[in-house]
A = this chain, B = another copy of it.
Amino acid sequence: MKRIGNTFALLAIIVAGHTTAQAEDPLPSWNDGAAKKSITEFVAKVTKEASSDFVPIAERIATFDNDGTLWCEQPMYFQLVFALDRVKALAPQHPEWKTSEPFASLLKGDVKGALAGGEPAIAKIVIVTHAGMTTTEFEQIVADWIATAKHPKFKRPYTECIYQPMVELLAYLRANGFKTFIVSGGGIEFMRPWTEKVYGVPPEQVVGSSIKTKYEMRDGKPVLMRLPEINFVDDKTGKPVGINSHIGRRPIAAFGNSDGDQQMLEWTQAGSGVRLMMLVHHDDSVREFAYGAESKIGAFSDALMVEAKKDGWTVISMKDDWKTIFAFASQAAP
């Protein structure tokens, strides 16, 4: 009889464990409200086999912007901070930078002056910091930087400046059979060294902007050299192009936060069946940053807000919808 008792005990534990898992809130950092409800209702619909809204697992594709959607993008894009830090690190090998812009201003600590040169200035910075090395070397440079650099406001590694509610959302979707992809205007090879560890998104599910690479032999070993030439810009109308190129299926859910995500959400919505489109709105100046239509980084224009309302996209208020923003700051909203 002891064996029977054990079997029953085991069964009881399994059943109890199952019940607990069911009852546990998979999105504990989200306040109860329309945003959270739109997520859980969408997932319930597409995973219910008998329903006409059911979507087979292979087609459960969800795409996420990164800057401003999964991690912060203020006071400037983290990849730009990386580039500026690289200029400083490389300066000793480039004495000529002392007298040539945008490097001269940058090395004097005048970031605004350096960036005053606009896109050509930024292009110069990107080329000297992102090209001219192998893909393996660049991966190591990114890994070293991301392991040590800290956010100026939060005094934490950038990989901790990620939104806990979105990390929960990624996990919740994956637990429901979704494949989660990042589709970002950021550099694809800037993200891949850390997205798997930080978001659970493997390199092959990261789509981003890129420069061209070239296969060649160096000391008898094959390498991919990073060339000073833009290959693809994964922003605005580029996002559906990148999705089509890398994924080859239309997402059924898409998450963004700015004008750069508009076309990704349109493309997602234009498929048949039930869809989920959401935009993170940065309206919490206390716990994160508040910025919108006028921001030079991550602008959420009035036109985007109009389109969101017209098309039934859900706007997430960071202030109202998120109980916790960062895992390191578990305080409730003020």
Contact = CB atoms under 8 A, between A and B. Distances in A.
Of residues A206, A213, A224, A263, which shows the largest number of chain B Cβ atoms within 10 Å of its Cβ? A224
Given A179-B204, A222-B240, A224-B241, A58 B196 contact: yes
Nearest to A217: B266
A245 interface: yes
Nearest to A269: B222
16 contacts: A3-B4, A3-B7, A135-B244, A179-B204, A202-B249, A204-B246, A204-B247, A206-B248, A210-B245, A213-B245, A214-B241, A215-B241, A222-B240, A222-B263, A222-B266, A231-B245
Interface string A246-287: 111100000000000001001100100000000000000000
A312 B213 CA distance: 28
A237 B221 contact: no
Given A58-B202, A179-B204, 7 more contacts: A4-B4, A192-B248, A204-B204, A204-B249, A215-B241, A215-B263, A222-B270
A203 interface: yes
Interface residues of A, number: 39
Interface string A195-210: 0100000111110001
Nearest to A2: B4
A35 interface: no
Interface string A216-235: 10000110100000010000
A87 interface: no
A125 interface: no
A214 B237 CA distance: 8
Contact of A241 (B7, B213, B245, B270): B213
A162 interface: no
Interface in A142-199: 179, 188-189, 192, 196
Contacts of A231: 245
Contacts of A202: 58, 249
A35 to B, nearest CB: 25
A215 B237 contact: yes
A266 B223 CA distance: 10
Contact of A188 (B58, B221, B248): B248
Contacts of A188: 245, 248
Nearest to A3: B4
Of residues A221, A238, A246, which shows the largest number of chain B Cβ atoms within 10 Å of its Cβ? A246
Contacts of A249: 202-204
Nearest to A8: B3
Interface string A45-60: 0000000000000100
A248 B7 contact: no
Nearest to A135: B244
A244 B204 CA distance: 9
